[in-house]
Structure 1
Amino acid sequence: MNLSSLLPAIEPLDLRSCLVSYNGKLIIEHYRNHRTREEIAKVNSCTKSVVSALICIAMDKQLLPEASTAAALYFPQLAEDPDPRKKAITLEHLLTMSAGFNWTEFGGQNSFPRMTQTPNWIQFALEQPLSDEPGSRLEYNSGLSQMLSAILVQASGMTTAAFAERYLFQPLGISQYEWEHDPQGIHTGGFGLRLLPADMLKLGQLYLQQGEWNGRQLISQDLVQRSVYPAIAAESPRRGRYGWHWWVDSFTAASDSASPSAFDFYYALGFGGQTITVVPSLNIVAVVTNDRLKRGKPPADVFRQHIAPLLVQQ
């Protein structure tokens, strides 16, 4: 593993930040300038992975029941819906984006923008018809993430941000953040969190350490492992599989030996190229933030294109 050539390779990408830690020590630290080091910025859908961590903490504290519990426990209208399949939607279906709702996040139905223009996001998400049997197919849906945030509020009696402060942010030493909320005051489950890149790295390190931080078990090992288990396959153009609001994938590169070099990894992914990537077998955590998209071009997959190939070099 030799990351010495990483910084020259990513310089033309004009990233906001790129951080890599190995065995808990920062070995790559790149910022565009001092401002990007010191100012919080949108992590977009990486927010989903933070909400996943909070749901796991609530389960550990027995504020939330087993993931197989029907979501109708928190949203009775699911049990009252004319479509009886909605009764079968579970907390795990919400976490794995497999609840079955007829939803197109962007493009097509533009379900996400439509939701955010309504006076009640949760009601909008719940009222969407089903197009698939619950549990049968991954359909990316930020409405489900908003439902999880609302469930956390019901279960804990606290706002999502207050719960995060007490049980996740303060133990990790995260003091700078902002978090948007919906018209009902429920903090956004699928986006809207602003963090420092260094604090994003802490979340990845927490998961690499199986939920342990400074001698405290913030999340049980069982739920860390369950949340990043590759539960359901993604459909093209997305790759890999999906866990509990974490993406799961693998990297394989040709090598000089008879067999290729490969490793599994999981990651939080936010629009525009915001990522927190964890490689357990190599004790690596990598964070990338980006805020300068080129029109008509997707952001570079910095981890797969630039970091991963260096990790398998001898």
Structure 2
Amino acid sequence: MNSQTPPDLLVRAIEQGRVPDLHAAVAVRHGRVILEHYGEGEDFRMNESLGHVRFTPDTLHDVRSVTKSVVGLLYGIALADGQVPQPHEPLLRHFPEYPDLAEDPRRAVLTVEHALTMTLGLEWDESAPYTSAANSEIAMELAPDRFRYILERPVVDEPGSRRSYCGGASALLARLIEKGTGRAVEDYARARLFEPLGITRFEWSTGEDGVALAASGLRLTPRDLLAIGRLVLDGGGGVVPSSWMEAALRPRVRIDEGSHYGYHWYVGDTWAGGFGNGGQRIYVAPALDLVVAVTAGQYNLPDQPTASVVLEEVVLAGIEP
């Protein structure tokens, strides 16, 4: 039996300075809260400083690229309603406003699944800071037409052959949702995902054109992140079709030794997750009946260890297998 619980281990990690910029951590196992912690520190809404914040259960927080995983869930809901194309369908068929791009045989082979798995094969680089136009996601937001910007990137790989991290893929999926449902993606999310989960407050940052940032703009509380994780644990929870959850969490393209990418969700041997810049995390471990949500403020730093320490050295180390 473990002598130290997750709260004990977190106190020690904080004292040792191993979880810098930790804003919140919540974990539920077997339906019971085993860890809930709220800290304080400087926070940001995208690149806008919010100053020093004391976090509470009701404090909204940027979840950054966890937004992508939420968009993946929304796509599955819309697909079940027959409002968006099937993954195997040609992508550019559903962007008829760009006939010149559809005429390019290298682009004509692109499918919706290539966007879902980020294997579009288009030139895309998010290695520069998210404050710089050298970052492709930022350049996309600055472009006169973000969707043309994405779809006209040079073809550098065979589509489907390699995952290249691409916020543009998420933007394309959100646009397909908007086209098919006739609703802004944030309004669709409110009605079809958030309200059924009891999520009553959220924000979704937009670009200068007023379009929601599908790659990174969502703001949720840690408890609401946890609710999304529990939905995944429950196979969709009656909100997202179970067939879509199974498809989304199937390993489709290798990222590294220990992880693959599904349909906008990361997948390991025993876990699934959503990851966001700065240390935002949803972690789902079905065999352990465990869901963890972490928010942190390590935005744009080259190393962002806090979420991993919370998961591995606090939660997983503090529970019985």
Q: Is the 8 A contact 1:293 1:299 kept in 2?
A: no
* Aligned equivalent of 2:46: none
Q: CA deviation at 1:309?
A: 4.3
* Contact persistence 2:9–2:313 (CA under 8 A): yes
Q: Secondary structure at the match of 1:16?
A: strand
TM-score scaled by length of structure 1: 0.86
Map Cα deviations across residues 280-304 of structure 1 (whole Å, 9 max, x no partner).
1111000111015696543332355
Q: CA deviation at 1:74?
A: 1.7
Partner of 2:95, secondary structure, is: coil
Determine whether 1:23 maps to 2:48: no
Deviations 1:27-51 (A, max 9, x none): 1111116633221010000000110
Aligned to 1:168, the other structure's residue is in SS state: helix
Q: CA–CA distance in 2 between the matches of 1:37 and 1:267?
A: 21
* Alpha-carbon distance in 1 for matches of 2:311, 2:28: 16
Provide the C-alpha distance between the structure 2 equivalents of 1:164 and 1:156, rounded to a whole number of angstroms.
Answer: 11
Letter in 2 for 1:39: T
Q: Aligned pair in 2 of structure 1 residues 293, 127: CA closer, same or farther (>3 Å)? A: closer
The residue that corresponds to 2:276 in the other structure is 270
Contact 2:124–2:164 (Cα < 8 Å) also in 1:
yes
Residue 264 of structure 2 corresponds to residue 245 of structure 1: yes
Q: Distance in 2 between matches of 1:279 and 1:311?
A: 15
Secondary structure, in 3 states, of the residue corresponding to 1:29? strand
- CA RMSD, 1 decimal: 2.3
Does the alignment pair 1:169 with 2:194?
yes
CA distance in 1 between partners of 2:31 and 2:64 (Å): 25
What does residue 254 of structure 1 align with? Answer: none
| TM-superposed deviation, 1:78 | 6.7
Shift of 1:121: 1.5
Alpha-carbon distance in structure 1 between the residues aligned to 2:320 and 2:82: 44
Cα distance between partner residues in 1 of 2:318 and 2:10: 14
The one-character-per-residue Cα deviations of 1:155-199 (angstroms, maximum 9, x if unpaired) are 000000110111111111111111122344332111011100000
TM alignment of 1:285-300, pairs within 5 A: 285-292=291-298, 297-300=303-306
Residue matched to 1:96: 117
Q: In the TM superposition, what whole-angstrom CA distance separates every residue of 1:250-284 from its partner, at most 9, and x where no partner exists?
A: 4xxxxxxxxxxxxx101000001100000011110
CA distance in 1, matches of 2:137, 2:189: 24
2:63 equivalent to 1:38: no
Q: Please, which of 161, 169, 179 is the counterpart of residue 136 of structure 1?
A: 161
Change (3 A) 1:130 1:303: farther
Question: Aligned in 2, Cα 1:293/1:154: closer, same or farther, shift over 3 Å?
Answer: closer
Q: How do 1:139-154 residues align onto structure 2 when only pairs under 5 Å count?
A: 139-154=164-179
TM-score between the two structures when normalised by the length of structure 2: 0.85
Structure 1: which 4+ aligned runs deviate by more than 6 Å?
none
Match of 2:285 in 1: 279
Q: Is the 8 A contact 1:288 1:302 kept in 2?
A: no
Kindly tell me: are residues 248 and 79 of structure 1, through their superposed partners in 2, closer, same or farther at Cα, counting changes over 3 Å? farther
